[in-house]
Amino acid sequence: MYTMKCSSDGKFEQGQLAPYGNVDLSPSAAVLNYGQGLYEGTKAYRTEDGRLLLFRLDQNATRMKMGADRLCMACPSIYQFIDAVKQTALANKRWTPPRGKGTLYIRPLLIGSGPILGLAPAPEYTFLIYASPVGNYFKEGLKPLNLYVEDEFHRATRGGAGGVKSITNYAPVLKAMARAKSRGFSDVLYLDSANKRNLEEVSSCNIFLVKGNTISTPATSGTILQGVTRRSIIEIALDHGYQVKERAIPVDELMDADEVFCTGTAVGVAPVGTITYQDRRVEYNVGEEPVSQKLYSILEGIKTGVIEDKKGWTIEI
């Protein structure tokens, strides 16, 4: 794992690698008391000939800086972030599965590690990175997901921190997730908290609807995370002739969509088989040549070196 610290001057010192282990924190650390923490998620991909590729790290680094600004935290520079991820990936190269068997998930974590009793920014911050080999995120594997539209609990509110990757965004979704999974669903799709009318996102991924040649996804207007996979899929779709609209999407449009899929670093591009909303269940196209599969194949091809990266998205280490 990689560790780098900064003090009240806001500058991070040179970090270092060490064996994975526990972190020593004061009971009054800001992250423990006030939730002053952010995380990112990225992956290392093994190519067919054994090389190791990283994907769009500048996007993760930029998103962490946005989140740090929102939570009044010091943050590593984009260069420091990328360099630290490279070092961590190389140090854990032996744990990266062969192509087609999984990936090495890499978790950068920025926390207010300094002690603070009153409600205020921490006097010290720690930047950590650790990694783990992973397979499919959902137990269904590559099978289509079955989602439940949640209209009681909300993931984020206007003016809150839903648009950044704050650690405080995730524990509140656990209750709704547990309830949905106990009923046989894969995950929960949330609505906007103001009107309970427009789609937001799934617990840990963005959502897309397909109708004809048009792909729609909720606009990132402060309550929805600006996913790196989301942005990449939008760019690939535009390159291949699809119309892409980032807009407010009323929940009723789920009933009329041809296809629905989710995107995220952990889930990749996951097709949705059914969505249930207020006892209405809708099924979607997951058969021959779904749009999600086409886009997924291109994206994964770039990530694993099968398709030439003409966009400069990958970094070989």
Residue from 43, 65, 86, 165 carrying the catalytic annotation:
165
Contact between residue 125 and residue 74 where contact means Cβ atoms under 8 Å apart: yes
Contact between residue 72 and residue 4 where contact means Cβ atoms under 8 Å apart: no
Instruction: Give the CA distances from residue 277 to residues 83, 216, 280, in Å, rounded to whole numbers and listed in that order.
Output: 45, 19, 5
The structure tokens listed for 204 are: 């840990």
Nearest to 64 by CA among 153, 156, 166, 217: 166
Is residue 165 part of the annotated active site? The answer reads: yes
In angstroms, the CA 255 to CA 275 distance is 9
Q: Which residues are catalytic?
A: 165
